[in-house]
Amino acid sequence: MTRVRIENLVRSYGAHAVLKDISLDIADGEFLVLLGPSGCGKSTLLSAIAGLDQVQAGRILFDDRDVTRLEPSAREIGMVFQSYALYPTMTARANMAFALRVVGASRAEQEERVRWAADLLQIGHLLDRKPGQLSGGQRQRVAIGRSLVRKARLFLFDEPLSNLDAKLRTEMRNEIKALHERLGVTFVFVTHDQIEAMTLATRIAVMDAGVIQQVDTPDEIYRRPATRFVADFVGAPAMSFLEGELVAPDRVRIGENTVAVPDYAWRSAPRTGSVVFGVRPERVSVAPVPGTATVAARLRGIEPHGADTLVWAELSGQRLSARLTPEAAAGLPQSLHLDFEIEGVSLFDPDSGARL
């Protein structure tokens, strides 16, 4: 049970700043996902929390105790790596008991803890095998088991599912979520996969270029992205972005078209001028006849995805996509009348990228 408090963390390799003044609070028992593209600093941040990487400035507190300079072993954490990192010459049992062995715990205690973790993960029958004799999913289970055997107060996961195939990934995802609910301890989980982030997290911290862009619930991240980067990174198919101009507090002009944004939830007082108009593809629909709220667009292409169909359209020279049912997408004419639901619209400042 650990509250994690990160204050103004800075880490750079030479001239390259990987973490730029990161501050983050993680509540007790939370499942926090660090989400971002590769190179955004999320793994470095996790390493810093683990104590595997020294930081140049800032503090890390576990329950108000400053652990910034403590060795990983003194932080009472469990960690699971993408590559599993099982000790190849040891059996699964010895791998799991390793942490207790190095501190000189009794055989009985080792056996008891390993047994407990093995039961929890249903890997009791694998204990005498070496990592080379285990499948990817089994290795990952043993690796999780190894992190459980120590009585850790905080669990760190560094892209643990990336090496698994799609089906197994879904399965392990559910298991990790169930594990979190069962143990009730704090989890910090690094991934670049937004589905993992959305399904697992109680809160997501989206990172880019060494900066946390937004920390929020998955729902908030998706519906009200704080920056254009977050809006673009989260969501598949991705949000469409159109350059426009706010001509009145409730109207955006895009080329020769005007889109009404009557009930938009403004973060700050609306100011006229250029804006980036973002819209989620599933919140765009095609109207059969032009209406007062529709805008004219040209059909540019159709991508069937099975469950739904992505329709590409061009609006005043800018491309956007609409996610329609296959039936709605069938037999569309060349000239379309698009309708935007205000819940799917986000407006951003074109310079700072911040949500308006």
Partner 1 sequence: MTPAGRAGRIGLYLFLVTTALFFAIPLVIVVLTALKDADEARGASIFLLPRSPDLEAFSKAWSSACIGRDCNGIGGRFWNSVVITALATSISLLLASLNGFALALWNLRRAGLVLGLLLVGAFVPYQIMIYPLVRMFAVGGIHQTLAAVVIVHVLFGLPILTLIFRNYYVGLPPELIKAARVDGAGFFQIWRLVILPLSLNVAIVAGILSVTGVWNDYLLGLIFSGQNWQPMTVSVASLSATASSGVPEQNVNMAATLLTALPPLLLYLLSGKYFVRGVTAGAVKG
Q: Point out which residues bind partner 1 (CB under 8 A).
A: 47, 50, 52, 71-73, 77-79, 81-90, 98-99, 101-103, 146-147, 150
Q: Residue 52 Cβ, how far from partner 1 at the closest point, in Å?
A: 5
- In terms of CB distance, is 134 or 322 closer to partner 1? 134
Give the phi and the psi of residue 214 in degrees, each rounded to 5.
-165, 140
Q: Residue 160 Cβ, how far from partner 1 at the closest point, in Å?
A: 11
Q: Residue 248 Cβ, how far from partner 1 at the closest point, in Å?
A: 56
CA dihedral 90, 93, 95, 101 (to 10 degrees): -100
- In terms of CB distance, is 79 or 329 closer to partner 1? 79
- In terms of CB distance, is 123 or 254 closer to partner 1? 123
Q: Residue 147 Cβ, how far from partner 1 at the closest point, in Å?
A: 8
Q: Residue 144 Cβ, how far from partner 1 at the closest point, in Å?
A: 12
- In terms of CB distance, is 77 or 252 closer to partner 1? 77
The CA distance from 262 to 94, in Å, is 64
- In terms of CB distance, is 191 or 294 closer to partner 1? 191
Q: Residue 29 Cβ, how far from partner 1 at the closest point, in Å?
A: 21
- In terms of CB distance, is 51 or 225 closer to partner 1? 51
Q: Residue 112 Cβ, how far from partner 1 at the closest point, in Å?
A: 17
- In terms of CB distance, is 64 or 71 closer to partner 1? 71
